[in-house]
Structure 1
Amino acid sequence: MKQKKQSLGWVSEHSEWLAQFDSATLLSKILDLYESEAIYIVDKNQQVLYWGGGMEKLTGLRQENAVGKPCLAEFTLAEIDDNQEQSIKLSQANGDSITLKKVSQILFDRSGAFAGGIAVLTEALESAPATFVPKVLATAKQNFHGILSRSPTMHDVFQIIQNAAETEATVLVRGESGSGKELVAKAIHTLSARRNAPFLAINCAALSSNLLESELFGHVRGAFTGAIKDHSGLFQRANGGTLFLDEVAELPLELQAKLLRVLQERNYIPVGGNRTIAADVRIVAATHRSLREEVKNGQFREDLMYRLRVVPIFLPPLRERREDISLLIWHFITQHNDERVRIIEKIDPQAMRLLLDYAWPGNVRELHNVVEYAFAVGRGSTLRLSELPPEFREPRVVGTQKQPAKRNPALDTEDEASAIRQALEQNHGRAGLAANVLGMSRATFWRKRKALGL
């Protein structure tokens, strides 16, 4: 009761600050923060309105099988349950029985009538060791051709991939290093009519200009010193299939003209050759840079940018879809467990807290490397804090200078209001898809849209 009075006092004291927010938005943000906790909400008829990720882990009952249905007897909330602590026993799918502590808050409507409630479940101390963390494994819905996510933003990306794959349109994937751009390219290929032909990839930043030209377009014998025989380039070897050009912004200007010819004329001439070769290849390009900025700086051809950017796909960094971190951690742990060198069944809470709070500048690739590091340096069934890389144990340094905000590539030539309005029109009012086109998270898109009165 004391804690409840403290909460009411805080709300009263900060009522002016709270008044600037919509209550539904506040609740949504709070639930997003605790999405991995065992929280559920029921209405006055004991129908489940919300079933958090932690409830899925504890009960084995999936969200889609719980929401909109009457809750089980042990989860019902009555008016007398307000601010009560109760112990309940629950049988899990594997036959084990666990003891849970249920804490609830009852909700009343404006007339004072019972309107439902919200409850939190935690494991009783005697039912599990302190280091226990329930495994979070991807469902079929959360695994899109090897791209794991339960983020609504990423599910919008999945839909764009699905739709784009059914066409022959050139796709440009924009995302930070390690965010999964090549997985997107492979998914487009797998879902396309070209799936039975080759999928080949090249990093445009990895080779010198001469080697890159030869690797892409091939060369004939005698074209240069060391060219002792004809060499088939990637365009020829990928004929009928898909060619993935990673870091396409690093492509030298002289090769950009040759790539433009392939996209326009569907043919090319090998290095040192004198005859054209037909090119039946779909291009999926990727970059972590803004091609519009590269065009402004004179480093990229504008006509080629438009040829590559027919369907832009923006991949949000891992720090903007934090609900995926635990999902990916357990996915990679399961992969390494299969190698039988070490079996990890638990994660120490301190280690898990650092993993969840980390900024992940290297995105999914860095997360995979961290899990691999833990398997290499540690032993036993528990992943401990001491088994994380050194940067996780170093004190955090808070910078004194604010970094300049990165300008959104979709907004370089038009103001935000017209860009957002156009994106909404193009996507028939679907905010998630519009946000994706502009390279924004759904939260940022919603905030800007509201601020601009759109």
Structure 2
Amino acid sequence: MLLVDGGRQVAALTPALEARLGGTVRAGTPLTEVLVPHGGAERLESLLTEGRETSARMRTGSRTHPVRVRAVALTEGTKGLGWALLVAPEAERDTEGNAELFHGVWTRDPELQRIFRIVEKVARTESSVLVRGESGTGKELIAHALHALSPRSKGPFRAINCAALPPNLLESELFGHVRGAFTGAVRDSPGHFRLANKGSLFLDEVAEMPLDLQAKMLRVLETRTVIPVGGREPVPVDVRIIAATHRALRREVEAGRFRADLMYRLRVVPIFLPSLRERPGDILPLAMRFLDELRQRGSRRVERFSPGARRLLEGHTWPGNVRELRNVMEYTYVIGEGPVVREADLPPEFSEPRRVPPATLAGPPSLLDAEKVRAALAQAGGNRSEAARLLGISRVTLWRRLRDLDVPGSE
């Protein structure tokens, strides 16, 4: 048992749990540094407030342990004192036999495998699905799985990234346009909704959709018809929507950046994909799988990682998740030699001090004044993609902010 006080800090660890885990946790340590539920901060919140049992990783010293956790609230009258966390070690999955390859997503992680079972159930329905996860966690692969396992599998699957296009072009790409609707519209275009008819439409980074377009999207979902840009007559469409985002839509709604009614339409069944750092047992096996794939196209055969390389790979935060791991392994395969991956074979960022962007730059888009935007552009040498990264926003959001602030060169 792990006792947690009202400030969400560790109060005590029972001797029985210390013996099971082979380590202890210092009193006063924030719970977020000790327990990492699969699903992140939101899952930790639901663990404490709703008492639902969940899978997690528990840190004791330099080691992490897979565990199952359930929280019991401790009260005195109406006053909350803290929680007693009932912790049971969960068996590690050490063999390839416990691994699963699900429509391109490989894992040994039991929580991600549980999500696979949810995907299989949801795929058989017509319900709208919102897939939430960081970049590189496999959101589009899950979207493909939802389509492939559905009754619509023989129909088309269309995908569009809502963050990659300016608003006027995004509307045309989604709903289509008629000839002469705008300069350059020399012929009719059906748009993704009509192209996905009788199939599935994947809306990636849906939180980046501008508010005026959200209203039109809501009408399409309610009426199941689209009106092309420049057109007058509605066109019936039969499409299942699968949306994805790396943001919490409820927070976007609270901030006034996303319509609540559209969120409820899209978020009928939410699916949360864990990040790679939340499934550390997958890091080295996935890395070796990628190296084996590279060996099919090259001559080098990698058999193992040196202790130093293992430590660096397992200690990396993997902000780009599986996509980043794949790229790191390709770099390692090309640069290194022989059957062992060593520390020197890894990209420079694994050995260089980590650069942290100035905290004063990042913030909600609505609070980014012209001075902060100019400072980010200056620091990025005029590169808008890098400036957007420093500000913690997408490139399209930066473009809109530049336009709103009337910064020169924003058109």
In which range does the TM-score fall when normalised by the shorter chain? 0.5 to 0.7
Task: Please list every run of 5 or more consecutive structure 2 residues that lacks an aligned counterpart in the other structure.
Answer: 1-10, 23-56, 67-88, 360-411
Q: Secondary structure at the match of 1:270?
A: coil
Cα gap change, 1:227 to 1:18, in 2 (>3 Å): closer
2:138 counterpart letter in structure 1: G
Q: What is the aligned counterpart of 1:320 among 275, 278, 302?
A: 278
Alignment-derived partner of residue 76 in structure 1 = none
Q: Does 1:288 align with 2:246?
A: yes
Contact in 2 for aligned 1:35/1:323 (Cα 8 Å): no
Q: Secondary structure at the match of 1:243?
A: strand
Contact in 1 for aligned 2:21/2:65 (Cα 8 Å): no
Cα gap change, 1:259 to 1:50, in 2 (>3 Å): closer
Q: CA deviation at 1:343?
A: 2.8
Alignment-derived partner of residue 387 in structure 1 = 345
2:180 counterpart letter in structure 1: G
Cα gap change, 1:17 to 1:298, in 2 (>3 Å): closer
Alignment-derived partner of residue 6 in structure 1 = none
- What does 1:114-125 align with in structure 2 at a 5 Å threshold? none
- What does 1:127-206 align with in structure 2 at a 5 Å threshold? 139=97, 141-206=99-164
Q: CA deviation at 1:301?
A: 0.6
Contact in 1 for aligned 2:201/2:240 (Cα 8 Å): yes
2:107 counterpart letter in structure 1: S
Alignment-derived partner of residue 312 in structure 2 = 354
**What's the CA shift string for 1:14-38, capped at 9, x where partnerless?**
xx955376468646958995779xx
Q: Number of matched residues?
A: 293
Cα gap change, 1:397 to 1:212, in 2 (>3 Å): closer
**What's the CA shift string for 1:124-183, capped at 9, x where partnerless?**
xxxxxxxxxxxxxx5585111111111121122111111110101000011111111111
- What does 1:53-64 align with in structure 2 at a 5 Å threshold? 53=93, 56=95
* TM-score normalised over the length of structure 1: 0.59
Alignment-derived partner of residue 19 in structure 1 = 14
- What does 1:360-371 align with in structure 2 at a 5 Å threshold? 360-371=318-329
Cα gap change, 1:308 to 1:51, in 2 (>3 Å): closer
Cα gap change, 1:34 to 1:300, in 2 (>3 Å): closer
Contact in 1 for aligned 2:58/2:65 (Cα 8 Å): no
**What's the CA shift string for 1:105-129, capped at 9, x where partnerless?**
xxxxxxxxxxxxxxxxxxxxxxxxx
Cα gap change, 1:377 to 1:226, in 2 (>3 Å): same
Alignment-derived partner of residue 275 in structure 1 = 233
Q: Secondary structure at the match of 1:262?
A: helix
Contact in 2 for aligned 1:35/1:53 (Cα 8 Å): no
Alignment-derived partner of residue 196 in structure 2 = 238
Q: Does 1:334 align with 2:334?
A: no
Q: Secondary structure at the match of 2:216?
A: helix
Distance 1:230 1:396 in 2: 50
Q: CA deviation at 1:262?
A: 1.7
Q: Does 1:308 align with 2:243?
A: no
> Which one has a bigger Cα radius of gyration?
1
Q: CA deviation at 1:382?
A: 2.5
Cα RMSD for the two superposed structures: 3.0
Distance 2:197 2:324 in 1: 33
**What's the CA shift string for 1:339-382, capped at 9, x where partnerless?**
12533223222112211121111111111110111123233332
**What's the CA shift string for 1:388-447, capped at 9, x where partnerless?**
111111246899x9xxxxxxxxxxxxxxxxxxxxxxxxxxxxxxxxxxxxxxxxxxxxxx
Q: CA deviation at 1:279?
A: 1.2
1:381 counterpart letter in structure 2: P
Alignment-derived partner of residue 422 in structure 1 = none
* TM-score normalised over the length of structure 2: 0.65
Cα gap change, 1:194 to 1:25, in 2 (>3 Å): farther
1:194 counterpart letter in structure 2: R
1:287 counterpart letter in structure 2: T
- What does 1:189-228 align with in structure 2 at a 5 Å threshold? 189-228=147-186
Distance 2:217 2:207 in 1: 12
**What's the CA shift string for 1:296-347, capped at 9, x where partnerless?**
1111111000000000011111111111111211121121111125332232
Cα gap change, 1:140 to 1:213, in 2 (>3 Å): farther
Q: Secondary structure at the match of 1:289?
A: coil
Q: CA deviation at 1:245?
A: 0.5
Q: CA deviation at 1:285?
A: 0.4
**What's the CA shift string for 1:45-84, capped at 9, x where partnerless?**
xxxx998555x4xxxxxxxxxxxxxxxxxxxxxxxxxxxx
Contact in 1 for aligned 2:214/2:262 (Cα 8 Å): yes
Q: Secondary structure at the match of 1:295?
A: helix
Q: CA deviation at 1:276?
A: 1.2
Distance 2:103 2:129 in 1: 17
- What does 1:90-105 align with in structure 2 at a 5 Å threshold? none
Distance 1:257 1:291 in 2: 16
Cα gap change, 1:327 to 1:214, in 2 (>3 Å): same
Cα gap change, 1:254 to 1:24, in 2 (>3 Å): farther
Identical-residue share of aligned pairs (%):
54
Alignment-derived partner of residue 218 in structure 2 = 260
2:14 counterpart letter in structure 1: A
Distance 1:51 1:316 in 2: 19
Q: Secondary structure at the match of 2:201?
A: strand
Cα gap change, 1:20 to 1:263, in 2 (>3 Å): farther
